[in-house]
């Protein structure tokens, strides 16, 4: 009998000690951030929690919760803002192969946003380039997720040295701009993780991204903003992302699917703010999913410093001397020399006799395509203007020669004349915002008809510049 009592007492003692240990550990190890979220959430009614999920109502004056403010900004402040530094586009950043440089670029752009009193930047862009005609090739991080991941990580690390945070976009498989709201891409899970997802994982786990924007397109039959595998399983469960997700502008149509997939923030439509209040009351939507989404939004607002207050950054950092130097440095390092036959470069400005500057982009400086990320700097220097400043007017012969997006040949003669009286020809072609930008797909009609693309620049090069002259 004594043995049974002793054994029972021992078991009871062990059980009691385990309970005390668990209780002790739960108090000691509980995350202070989560404790703070518990306290803040306890002060909010359901309507206030829902309002945190909508871009027009997510500020709460009673509780001192600011509203998200920001703009596009993968290579400078976009959305038609004027007078800001314009750094190389994303694919050119990747071409630098210099993460340390891009960290400084990310910081500079974020500081200019902070000087405006804004909290967020939509960027960097993590789209992969699968076809140069997709419409927003310049905004992609290139075709390599390994390099793209390093560059995105570096950019975010730079942002995170400031009070401004970035929303990485567009998750995921945002490729062709044409029919971008209805394109449905099929992919196996391994490819989504190891190829299409590799650089996203790195941006989150190594870069420290705290906001993700879902793409317009569909993957395996579901819109990205309504895709449970993409958001809940991959982004959160596998990669450990605990901050807020958002749709691209109006990028979902089913509140139920978006909420169940753990899309937190609604921008560009009013589905959440319209449907969730009554839907939660009548049981159509699970209130715990709203709690979870609100918690993710508030977690981001706390960790970014929005709620506690951020440093005041002087407006003098915008387009500052230091930033102009960084624009120049990053621009130089982003340039790629594919070939230098007979060591034609560099030209010696002391001995060169004359240069013909020809091409549709010689007299202008297209910094990006026609999209929300377009930066309008305080000044621009075209190739023609830069060469003229170096060599003087008498040694430069300029002719446009052709347009980018048509087959008009009436300017060919002027270009040929300029080339004939010059020692060298500098031909500046490429694309511009008439053929590349948000929602565009280059030469779709020409593709369907089997026509040649960029007929003007292509023919001008074939007929004259490459064959007869020293052309750069």
Q: Any idea what DSSP says for residue 65?
A: B
Both tokens of residue 33?
Answer: 């951030």
- C-alpha distances in angstroms, 266 versus 59, 170, 253? 14, 15, 11
**Residue found under tokens 């377009």:** 374
CA–CA separation, 307 vs 103, rounded Å? 25
In terms of Cβ atoms closer than 10 Å to its own Cβ (0-12, 13-18, 19+), residue 364 is middle
CA–CA separation, 425 vs 420, rounded Å? 9
Is 248 one of the catalytic residues? yes
In terms of Cβ atoms closer than 10 Å to its own Cβ (0-12, 13-18, 19+), residue 141 is buried
Structural contact between residues 228 and 260, judged by C-beta atoms closer than 8 angstroms: yes
Structural contact between residues 177 and 216, judged by C-beta atoms closer than 8 angstroms: no
Catalytic residue among 127, 248, 319, 368: 248
Please choose, from the candidates 32, 53, 43, the residue with its C-alpha nearest in 3D space to the C-alpha of residue 298: 53
Helix axes 99-115, 321-334, angle to 10 degrees: 140
CA–CA separation, 142 vs 158, rounded Å? 20
CA–CA separation, 441 vs 312, rounded Å? 41
Structural contact between residues 412 and 103, judged by C-beta atoms closer than 8 angstroms: no
Q: Which residues are catalytic?
A: 248
């Amino acid at each position: 009998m004594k043995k049974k009592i002793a054994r029972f007492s021992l078991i009871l003692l062990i059980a009691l000690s385990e309970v005390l240990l668990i209780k002790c550990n739960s108090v000691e190890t509980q995350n202070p951030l989560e404790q703070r979220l518990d306290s803040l959430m306890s002060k909010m009614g359901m309507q206030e929690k829902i309002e945190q999920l909508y871009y027009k109502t997510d500020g709460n004056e009673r509780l001192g919760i600011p509203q998200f403010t920001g703009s596009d900004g993968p290579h400078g402040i976009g959305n038609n803002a004027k007078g800001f530094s314009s750094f190389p586009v994303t694919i050119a950043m990747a071409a630098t192969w210099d993460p340390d440089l891009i960290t400084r670029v990310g910081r500079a752009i974020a500081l200019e946003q902070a000087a405006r009193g804004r909290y967020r930047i939509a960027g960097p862009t993590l789209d992969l380039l699968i076809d140069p005609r997709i419409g927003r090739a310049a905004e992609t991080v290139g075709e390599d997720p390994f390099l793209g991941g390093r560059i995105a990580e570096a950019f975010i690390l730079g942002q995170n040295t400031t009070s401004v945070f970035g929303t990485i976009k567009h998750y995921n498989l945002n490729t062709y701009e044409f029919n971008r709201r209805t394109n449905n891409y099929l992919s196996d899970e391994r490819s989504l993780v190891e190829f299409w997802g590799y650089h996203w994982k790195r941006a989150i786990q190594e870069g420290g991204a705290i906001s993700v924007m879902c793409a317009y397109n569909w993957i395996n039959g579901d819109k990205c903003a309504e895709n449970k595998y993409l958001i809940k399983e991959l982004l959160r469960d596998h990669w450990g992302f605990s901050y807020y997700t958002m749709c691209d502008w109006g990028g979902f149509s089913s509140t139920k699917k978006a909420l169940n997939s753990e899309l937190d923030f609604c921008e560009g439509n009013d589905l959440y703010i319209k449907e969730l209040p009554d839907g939660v009351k009548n049981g159509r939507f699970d209130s715990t999913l709203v709690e979870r989404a609100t918690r993710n939004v508030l977690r981001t607002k706390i960790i970014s410093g929005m709620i506690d207050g951020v440093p005041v950054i002087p407006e003098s950092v915008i387009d500052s001397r230091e930033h102009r130097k960084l624009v120049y440095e990053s621009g130089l390092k982003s340039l790629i020399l594919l070939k230098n036959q007979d060591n034609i470069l560099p030209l010696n400005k002391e001995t060169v006799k004359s240069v013909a500057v020809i091409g549709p982009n010689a007299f202008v400086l297209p910094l990006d395509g026609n999209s929300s990320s377009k930066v309008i700097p305080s000044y621009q220097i075209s190739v023609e203007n830069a060469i003229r400043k170096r060599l003087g007017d008498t040694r430069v012969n300029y002719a446009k020669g052709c347009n980018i997006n048509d087959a008009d040949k009436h300017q060919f003669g002027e270009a040929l004349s300029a080339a004939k009286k010059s020692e060298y020809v500098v031909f500046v072609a490429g694309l511009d915002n008439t053929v590349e930008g948000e929602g565009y797909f280059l030469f779709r009609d020409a593709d369907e008809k089997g026509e040649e693309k960029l007929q003007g620049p292509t023919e001008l090069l074939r007929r004259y510049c490459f064959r007869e002259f020293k052309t750069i």
